[in-house]
């Protein structure tokens, strides 16, 4: 295992994050605050409580998940796509590193960034609403697992993408709608029965539900199922990464 290489890639990616630290830090703070102003204050004042939790607090887990998923994907996909785009990938390909080490470096850094931003949102939320986390360990577990899974997913997108448009395609057309329709801002019990059933086909529902359970102890779906969903998604991404590794798909000519 070439740990030095993993470290080099990881630090390189983190350096990019720190170069734009203000932007990385301020933009989630601003967008979170906006969500609280719009959803928490304007709309939330008309919704009293959801499942015994004030609406402002209720949306916190969904808000964190929304950002963590999109940030995990965008950081990892850009991280590996950019060297492909500008041609610097030759170095990683000609160095004594295997694909696992490359993935660890890029996806690890993307997961770290997503985790950091998730925690920033959690901290910002505390300024707007009273938050108590009933299962802190489970909360941390869900959060970390989500960061890792979506960083891996982003890595796959970055390898797959042949241009910047494709890089944006899956996050914009698939992930964002799934997250918004996955109960980020509402409980699925608020939906008509037919939509409740349809919603269960949205994998993001399980992630947000489990994460919300860790905060408030209430969930749309059993927490075991949530854990299985996120672990399954993580395993699926790892399997795809493994196949890419075996074949050198879209990396080596």
CA distance 42 to 21: 31
9 lines the binding site for another protein (CB under 8 A): yes
For another protein, which is the closer residue by CB, 5 or 156? Answer: 5
Per CB under 8 A, does 107 bind another protein? no
Based on the shown chain and the rule CB under 8 A, indicate whether residue 21 belongs to the binding site for another protein: no
**Would the CA dihedral through 124, 70, 167, 12 be positive or negative?**
positive
Find the radius of gyration of the CA atoms of the chain.
19
Instruction: Output the six-digit token pair for 250.
Output: 């879209």
110 forms part of the interface with another protein (CB under 8 A): no
> What are the residues facing 53 on neighbouring strands?
50
Is residue 19 near another protein by the rule CB under 8 A?
yes
**Residues with Cβ < 8 Å from 233, sequence gap 6 or more?**
149, 153, 203, 207
Contact call for residues 42 and 135 (beta carbons, < 8 A): no
**46 lies in the binding site for another protein (CB under 8 A):** no
Of these, 8, 176, 187, 218, which contacts another protein (CB under 8 A)? 8
Q: What angle do CA 27, 31, 37 make, to 5 degrees?
A: 145
5 interacts with another protein by CB under 8 A: yes
Among 21, 48, 52, 96, binds another protein (CB under 8 A): 96
Q: Which is nearer to another protein, 93 or 126 (CB)?
A: 93
In the region spanning residues 74 to 93, those forming contacts with another protein, defined by CB under 8 A, are 83, 86-88, 90-93
């Amino acid at each position: 295992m070439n740990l030095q290489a993993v470290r080099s890639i990881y630090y390189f990616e983190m350096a990019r994050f720190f170069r734009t630290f203000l932007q990385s830090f301020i933009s989630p703070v601003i967008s979170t605050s906006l969500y609280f102003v719009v959803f928490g204050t304007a709309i939330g004042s008309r919704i009293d409580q959801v499942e015994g939790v004030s609406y402002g607090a209720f949306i916190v887990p969904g808000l964190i998940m929304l950002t963590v998923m999109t940030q995990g994907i965008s950081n990892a996909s850009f991280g590996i796509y950019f060297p492909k785009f500008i041609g610097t990938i030759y170095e990683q390909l000609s160095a004594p590193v295997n694909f696992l080490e490359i993935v660890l470096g890029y996806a690890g850094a993307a997961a770290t960034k997503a985790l950091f931003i998730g925690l920033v949102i959690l901290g910002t939320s505390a300024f707007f609403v009273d938050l108590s986390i009933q299962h802190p360990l489970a909360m941390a577990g869900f959060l970390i697992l989500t960061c890792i899974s979506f960083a891996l997913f982003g890595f796959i997108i970055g390898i797959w993408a042949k241009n910047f448009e494709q890089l944006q395609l899956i996050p914009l057309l698939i992930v964002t709608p799934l997250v918004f329709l996955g109960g980020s801002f509402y409980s699925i019990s608020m939906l008509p029965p037919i939509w409740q059933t349809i919603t269960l086909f949205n994998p993001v529902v399980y992630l947000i539900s489990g994460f919300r359970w860790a905060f408030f102890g209430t969930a749309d779906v059993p927490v075991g199922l949530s854990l299985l969903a996120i672990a399954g998604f993580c395993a699926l991404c790892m399997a795809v990464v493994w196949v890419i590794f075996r074949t050198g798909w879209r990396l080596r000519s």
